[in-house]
Amino acid sequence: MEKIAFLGLGHMGSAMARRLLGARHPLTVWNRTPAKAEPLVAAGAVLAASAAEAVRDADVVITMLAGPAALDAVAGAVVPELRPGACWVEMSTVGPDVIGGLAARLGEGVTLVDAPVMGSTDRAESGRLGVLAGGDAARVEHVLTRLGTVTRTGPPGSGAALKLVLNAAVLGGVALVAEALLLAETLGLDEETARTALAGGPLGGVVGRAFAEGVHFGTALAVKDLALATEPARLPAMEAALEHFRRAAEDPAAAAEDIARAVTRIRRQA
């Protein structure tokens, strides 16, 4: 089996790395905060002292990082250490422009696949993510299928692009649900009645996500994703949703909370 280096062990990264470890892939892990790697090391992973050390002997490098700035910092350390024939699978939400810039930094013989995912921690733990794979993913598809269902999206950068489209739709929907419930409250409707009616309509999926429990997609990450989505095109509705999440994330504690908690904050602030 290929040697895999997994960089970035946040809520999603840790769950995804554990899936690969469970499939008996030789796994080296690295995280800026080493303590987050301890459960994986106890389960058999090898902890690298640095990102550069993690990738030196890797056949496949997977990054699951907080955003473009974190990816840029890691790339500076990792790119010189990648061996010819290695494949870098970038699974963070960073947008297609960042993927294009990363591809330009790679040496000859290194393949880049952009493969961000749809789904939260529950789906990561059970291997039911939606993996949006751009570029030549054939070589690593058997690795990606350990994490979920792979959808080939097209040329390099297309996975990152589709992730922005889908996240913008979900986050915009969650913000809309929050406003709809504010309207229901203003009109004197019972909240449970309004929620049930919304859940039975076209917004049913996002109503479920707006009140989900046992999952985690931080509000600060929602701000980052919507900011990326509103850069390439003027999207007034998404810009309004971005402002909602931005205000909800002003409190540092709220910024770390799942977006379901932001729904209450959006209703109060609106």
Any idea which residues carry the catalytic annotation? 163
Q: Are residues 142 and 196 in the same domain?
A: no
Residue-wise pLDDT tens for the chain (270 aa)?
A: 899 999 999 999 999 999 999 999 999 999 999 999 999 999 999 999 999 999 999 999 999 999 999 999 999 999 999 999 999 999 999 999 999 999 999 989 999 999 999 999 999 999 999 999 999 999 999 999 999 999 999 999 999 999 999 999 999 999 999 999 999 999 999 999 999 999 999 999 999 999 999 999 999 999 999 999 999 999 999 999 999 999 999 999 999 999 999 999 999 987
The structure's pTM equals: 0.95
- Residue 103 shares a structural domain with residue 222: no
> What span, in angstroms and rounded, lies between the C-alpha atoms of 143 and 240?
38
Domain of residue 254, residue span = 162-269
Q: Do 66 and 101 fall into the same domain? A: yes
In this prediction, residue 164 carries a pLDDT of 98
Kindly report the CATH number assigned to the domain that includes residue 105.
Answer: 3.40.50.720
Give the pLDDT score at 95. 98
Determine the pLDDT at residue 71. Answer: 98
Domain boundary among 153, 170, 196: 153
Say if residues 103 and 112 touch (Cβ distance below 8 Å): yes
Same domain as 167, residue 146: no
Q: Are 185 and 143 members of one domain? A: no
Contact between 54 and 31 under an 8 Å Cβ cutoff? The reply is no
Domain count, the chain: 2
Give the CA angle between residues 32, 216, 226 to the nearest 5°: 85
Domain end residue (candidates: 128, 153, 178): 153
Answer for the pair 165, 228: CB distance below 8 angstroms, yes or no: no
Q: Which is it for strands 129-134 and 117-118: parallel, antiparallel or unpaired?
A: antiparallel
- Buried-state track 53-63, b at ≥16 Cβ within 10 A, e below 16: bbbbebbbbbb
CATH number of domain containing 185: 1.10.1040.10
What is the structure's pLDDT at 33?
96
Asked if 49 and 77 sit in the same domain, the reply is yes
Residues 13 and 146 in one domain: yes
Tokens 């297609």 correspond to 96
Q: Which residues pair with 137 in a beta bridge?
A: none
- The answer on 104 and 196 residing in a single domain is no
Query: Which pLDDT score is estimated for 72?
Result: 98
